């Protein structure tokens, strides 16, 4: 079976989009359907054409990405937000047409609660602080491995020149939406090689480390904003 989703890495400290959140968002959007049907029946004929146009703008890109994923797995939970650009206009107009006043009030309160929960689960780590312990420490023969592609560009932006030269991504079959077109040749490695120097592994707190040569053992760990840098040496 061809996988439709490429879930992002998980973290014990905060939630990232996964297939679970995709399904939850689909259910939330499906709950809006009865509201749209009622609003469509009550709208004037000229307003109905506008509603259908906006709904097409909301649904066609989402469904097209889903359809392409049956051929190539490009779909991700974050792409569900495509619906809400034009879609929220129709939903807002539909709420205004509902005669029972408690319905739009309850819907808005539920939206506020859901938004609050979502925002409270999202962190944007300060990668300059995450990378500070490596500044001036990385030598020739060392390797700095990002455990998965999720934080690669953030790490590369915050790294000093020596760290950037030693920077690699440990992973397999990395989806295109992680910016793979911008990777330099040799950026992605499938396992950490037996280098003569130290190995630094950057990943989410609680994330299992990638396989390392048996001669290496962890000598130090530092974490900041849920991102950890593990140092390995012989």
- Residue 101's φ and ψ, nearest 5 degrees, are -65, -25
Collapsing DSSP states into helix, strand and coil, what is residue 180? helix
The average pLDDT across 194-221 equals: 91
Copy the structure tokens of residue 203. 């990943």
Give the per-residue pLDDT at 29.
60
For the chain, what percent of residues have pLDDT higher than 90?
31
Range from 59-63, 214-218, 221-225 carrying the lowest mean pLDDT: 59-63
Last residue of a domain, one of 65, 100, 121: 121
Q: 24 pLDDT band (50/70/90 cuts)? A: low
Four-residue CA torsion sign, 155, 158, 162, 164: positive
- Residue 222's φ and ψ, nearest 5 degrees, are -135, 135
* Same-domain pairing of 203 and 156: yes
* Same-domain pairing of 111 and 146: no
With respect to residue 10, please indicate whether it lies within any of the assigned structural domains: no
Q: Which residue has the higher pLDDT, 116 or 61?
A: 61
With respect to residue 229, please indicate whether it lies within any of the assigned structural domains: yes
* Same-domain pairing of 225 and 140: yes
β pairing state of 167-170 and 188-189: parallel
Tokens 């709420």 -> residue:
95
With a cut of 50, say whether residue 193 has pLDDT above it. yes
With respect to residue 33, please indicate whether it lies within any of the assigned structural domains: yes
* Same-domain pairing of 151 and 221: yes
The average pLDDT across 187-201 equals: 93
Last residue of a domain, one of 101, 121, 141: 121
With respect to residue 11, please indicate whether it lies within any of the assigned structural domains: no
Give the per-residue pLDDT at 104.
74
Alpha-carbon distance of 18 to 226, in angstroms, equals: 18
Question: Which tens digits make up the pLDDT trace of 82-105?
Answer: 777 777 777 777 777 777 777 778
* Same-domain pairing of 158 and 88: no
With a cut of 50, say whether residue 171 has pLDDT above it. yes
Alpha-carbon distance of 161 to 156, in angstroms, equals: 9
User: How many CB atoms within 10 Å of residue 23?
Assistant: 12
- Write down the mean pLDDT value for the chain: 78
Q: Which residue has the higher pLDDT, 227 or 77?
A: 227
Tokens 């992605």 -> residue:
188
* Same-domain pairing of 199 and 156: yes
The average pLDDT across 226-233 equals: 92
* Same-domain pairing of 217 and 169: yes
β pairing state of 227-233 and 199-204: antiparallel
Report how far Cα 94 is from the mean position of its chain's Cα atoms: 30
* Same-domain pairing of 180 and 229: yes
Residue 67's domain spans which residues?
A: 19-121
With a cut of 70, say whether residue 133 has pLDDT above it. yes
* Same-domain pairing of 112 and 37: yes
Q: Which residue has the higher pLDDT, 110 or 132?
A: 132
Answering whether pTM is above 0.75, one says no
* Same-domain pairing of 222 and 136: yes
With respect to residue 208, please indicate whether it lies within any of the assigned structural domains: yes
Give the per-residue pLDDT at 65.
77
With respect to residue 137, please indicate whether it lies within any of the assigned structural domains: yes
* Count of structural domains, the chain: 2
Collapsing DSSP states into helix, strand and coil, what is residue 169? strand
Last residue of a domain, one of 73, 96, 121: 121
Give the per-residue pLDDT at 121.
60
With respect to residue 196, please indicate whether it lies within any of the assigned structural domains: yes
Q: Could you give the residue ranges of the DSSP H alpha helices within the chain?
A: 19-31, 33-42, 45-69, 84-97, 102-121, 127-131, 152-158, 161-165
Please, what's the b/e burial string for 73-86 (b: 16 or more CB within 10 A of its CB; e: otherwise)? bbbbbebbebbeeb
- Fill in the DSSP letter of residue 77: G
Copy the structure tokens of residue 160. 């000093």
* Same-domain pairing of 93 and 131: no
Residue 22 CB contacts under 8 Å (≥ 6 apart), including other chains:
5, 77, 80
With respect to residue 8, please indicate whether it lies within any of the assigned structural domains: no
* Same-domain pairing of 31 and 104: yes
């Amino acid at each position: 079976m061809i996988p439709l989703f490429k879930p992002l890495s998980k973290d014990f400290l905060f939630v990232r989009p996964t297939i679970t959140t995709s399904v939850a968002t689909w259910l939330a959007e499906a709950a809006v359907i009865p509201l749209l049907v009622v609003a469509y029946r009550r709208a004037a004929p000229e307003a109905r054409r506008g509603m259908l146009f906006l709904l097409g703008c909301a649904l066609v890109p989402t469904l097209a990405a889903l359809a392409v994923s049956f051929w190539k797995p490009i779909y991700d939970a974050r792409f569900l937000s495509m619906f809400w650009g034009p879609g929220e206009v129709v939903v807002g107009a539909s709420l205004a047409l509902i005669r029972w006043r408690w319905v739009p009030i309850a819907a808005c309160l539920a939206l506020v609660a859901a938004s609050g929960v979502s925002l409270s689960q999202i962190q944007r780590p300060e990668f300059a602080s995450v990378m500070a312990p490596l500044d001036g420490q990385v030598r020739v023969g060392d390797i700095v491995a990002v455990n998965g592609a999720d934080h690669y560009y953030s790490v590369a932006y915050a790294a000093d020149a020596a760290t950037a030269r030693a920077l690699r991504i440990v992973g397999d079959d990395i989806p295109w939406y992680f910016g793979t077109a911008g990777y330099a040749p040799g950026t992605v490695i499938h396992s950490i090689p037996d280098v003569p120097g130290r190995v630094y592994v950057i990943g989410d707190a609680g994330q299992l480390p990638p396989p390392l040569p048996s001669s290496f053992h962890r000598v130090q760990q530092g974490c900041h904003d849920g991102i950890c840098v593990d140092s390995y040496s012989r």
